[in-house]
Structure 1
Amino acid sequence: MSRKLHIEVFRYNPATPDTKPYMQSFFIDEFDSMTLFIALNIIRDQHDPSLQFDFCCRAGICGSCGMVINGRPALACHTQTRDLPDHIVLHPLPVFKLVGDLSVDTGVWFRDVGTRIESWIHTRKEFDPSAEETRMENELANQIFELDRCIECGCCVAACGTARMREDFIGATSINRIARFYMDPRDERSEDDYYDLIGNDAGVFGCMGLLACEDVCPKKIPLQDQLGIMRRMLALNSVKGILPASVVKKLQNHKGCCHEKH
């Protein structure tokens, strides 16, 4: 027997500041294989066309439909209503600028942090459009691809306690992003260069280790592993003039804790 779903939605339009945020209830019939994305479209089509929420691909690729679902950041298109209680409470992702209702602007945040971490290959080689693409070993390419699967949905940022308290914290997604360049043999930056970018409280040393980022990642990217790898590398780099070189080298070669620079 299908359930009657009670979906409670946060409503507020910042463009009309005279209004106040409030929660609005909708009641719809559930059917087999219903996703929260479908439920929201039913609400907008049949109950209130003014409801704002974002979507594009409906397949967990674009990351547009991130929202807080019963207190947990997730993608609406990935969330089956059968996995939720019949009372569903929806809020917009925190940290990001609110556009209206469940819609937030993640683009400005990701563009800003991408600039701060210099999210591009740094090389002194002059670009030759006619040259063959640089080759790398398949195993390394697969490792880099694993980190490149981030869809920038913002769920990990919204779940991060540090990001909620510090506007300058770059978040697990950005540390994962810069770890991708650390592994890339085409990137010629030194460990000192990486330290200057993220070796502070706004970077790897600001994480409180609550693990929420990895728990809510819809693509199951090993965010905490990458944060640990980068934190270890930068911590060792900061004491390389203090600890004996033999000790630093031994710690750097401890398998399972850090990637070697390829």
Structure 2
Amino acid sequence: MSRRLHLEIFRYNPLDPDSVPRMQSFYVNEYDSMTLFIALNLIREEQDPGVQFDFCCRAGICGSCGMVINGRPGLACHTQTRDLPDHIVLHPLPVFKLIGDLSVDTGTWFRNVGKRIEAWVHTDDTAFNPADEESRMENALAEQIFELDRCVECGCCIAACGTARMREDFMGAATINRVARFYIDPRDKRSDDDYYDVIGNDEGVFGCMGLLGCEDVCPKKIPLQDQLGIMRRMLALNSVKGILPKGILDRLRHKGCCHEKH
């Protein structure tokens, strides 16, 4: 027998002066393979068309439907209701600007940090030549880059980050992962000093408290803490390159897990 789900949804429209933050209850009959995304659509189609939440692909690719599900950030389209209790409490992701109800503006946040880290391949080429062949690289390296490129910028890792909750200037795991992606890309000509200027501070790798919340909630299972640790190690060694002898630095760089600059 299917359950009757009780969904308690945060409601608030910041553009309406008469709106006040509140929780509103809805009830939906569950069926096999129902996702939270489907349940929310049923509510909007059959009970209240004014419920706001974001979606696009319904397949965990666009990252639009991020929200806090029973206290844990996640994607509505990835979440099966059978994996949840019959009482489901939904809130918008913290850190990001609230648009209304469960809808937040992740786009502006990611666009701003993208500008801060200059999230594009920096080359020596003065102009793009469409007649040139594509740059070649080994399959193994291309797979490493693709692994880090799987981030859908849903914002779940940012919402789960203790530092980001306390500091508006913290870049977060998704941003540091993005920097790591360019660091291992052989087409990017930035030096270690250049990367240090971007994230070698408490707004970047040295601001992380190591609570592992980011990796714990990532819907794409990207090894975010590994990337943060690798980048932190590289930048920490770079900061003492004028103090420690080169031989010791070389041994430390090749000790343990660390990206090699190609």
1:195-241 superposed Cα distances (whole Å, 9 cap, x missing partner): 00000000000000000100100000010000001000000000011
Inter-partner Cα distance in structure 1 for 2:46 and 2:27: 11
- Taking only aligned residues, the RMSD between alpha carbons, in angstroms, comes to 0.7
State yes or no: 1:41 paired with 2:31: no
Show the counterpart of 2:178: 177
> Quick one: which amino acid aligns to residue 210 of structure 2?
G
Show the counterpart of 2:216: 215
1:15-66 superposed Cα distances (whole Å, 9 cap, x missing partner): 1133210000011111111100000001111111100000111000000000
State yes or no: 1:150 paired with 2:159: no
Show the counterpart of 2:136: 135
Show the counterpart of 1:70: 70
1:175-205 superposed Cα distances (whole Å, 9 cap, x missing partner): 0000000000010100000000000000000
> Quick one: which amino acid aligns to residue 4 of structure 1?
R
Inter-partner Cα distance in structure 2 for 1:30 and 1:165: 38
State yes or no: 1:119 paired with 2:115: no
Q: CA deviation at 1:129?
A: 1.4
Show the counterpart of 2:84: 84
Sequence identity of aligned pairs in percent? 79
Aligned residues: 261
Show the counterpart of 1:4: 4
Q: Which sections of structure 2, spanning at least 5 residues, go unmatched?
A: none
**So what's the TM-score if we normalise by structure 1?**
0.98
More displaced 10-residue stretch of structure 1: 11-20 or 196-205: 11-20
**So what's the TM-score if we normalise by structure 2?**
0.98
Inter-partner Cα distance in structure 2 for 1:130 and 1:19: 57
Q: CA deviation at 1:124?
A: 1.4
Show the counterpart of 2:110: 110
1:76-131 superposed Cα distances (whole Å, 9 cap, x missing partner): 00000000000000000000010000000100000000000010111112321110
Q: Runs of at least 4 residues of structure 1 off by over 4 A?
A: none
Show the counterpart of 1:166: 167
Inter-partner Cα distance in structure 2 for 1:186 and 1:26: 52
Q: Which sections of structure 1, spanning at least 5 residues, go unmatched?
A: none
Inter-partner Cα distance in structure 1 for 2:129 and 2:211: 45
Inter-partner Cα distance in structure 1 for 2:227 and 2:154: 18
